[in-house]
Amino acid sequence: MKDSSQKKLRNKFIKSGVKMIGPETIFFSKDTKIGKKVTIEPYVVIGSKVKIGNNVIIKSFSHLESCKIENKVEIGPYARIRPNTILKEGSKVGNFVEIKKSTLGNKSKVNHLSYVGDAQIGKSVNIGAGTITCNYDGANKNKTNIKDKVFIGSNSSLVAPVTINKDSIVGAGSVITKNVRKKSLALTRSPQLEVKNYKRKKK
């Protein structure tokens, strides 16, 4: 897209009340739709088919395409929101998070260093740092279903197809391959070993 058409788009959004920090570094598409009281930080790229609601904050170095962002959502910095993603009201996507073909429920958070693909995530879910949905088995894409008020501990791998039921907890460092019942704790972890008075080998 020519620089002059980007200028027109930036001016259009500034006039409609979008707060831009460093507008010359922000790129829009012709079909971008943005609501009221939206703030966009520098170096944000918005691809085609993006709809953004009201009271949204998009932080620096984020990339959005073919997605729907509802009201009161916070994105980034360094977030990648890929096609067919819906971020529901009050949800939060933090730094170095990639979301693809997924719905993130109301007030749910994926704050850092995570990949979420082909997932349905309910309300008030907390997904810990380094969590990934293992959605591709080499031939097919499979779905992860996380119900309301689930807590996923850091560095967990959720091997799809899998369902994590309401009010349950996945302990940090777990590899989950089976469905988790509601109100339960799922944990897969090797026992910690300790060798007393261990002497390191010398060169």
Assign residue 169 the CATH number of its domain.
2.160.10.10
Catalytic residue of the set 80, 82, 100, 112: 112
For the segment 177-192, the average pLDDT, to the nearest whole number, is 96
Q: What is the pLDDT of residues 131-153, one digit of tens each?
A: 999 999 999 999 999 999 999 99
Active site residue 112: yes
Q: Is residue 185 part of a domain?
A: yes
Q: Is residue 15 part of a domain?
A: no
The whole-model pTM stands at 0.94
CB within 8 A of 201, min separation 6: which ones?
none
What is the model's pLDDT at position 4?
85
Q: Is residue 5 part of a domain?
A: no
Residues making up the chain, counted from first to last: 203
What is the model's pLDDT at position 203?
86
What is the model's pLDDT at position 178?
98
Give, in degrees to the nearest 5, the angle at Cα 45 between 152 and 33: 90
Domain range for residue 130? 101-189
Q: Is residue 70 part of a domain?
A: no
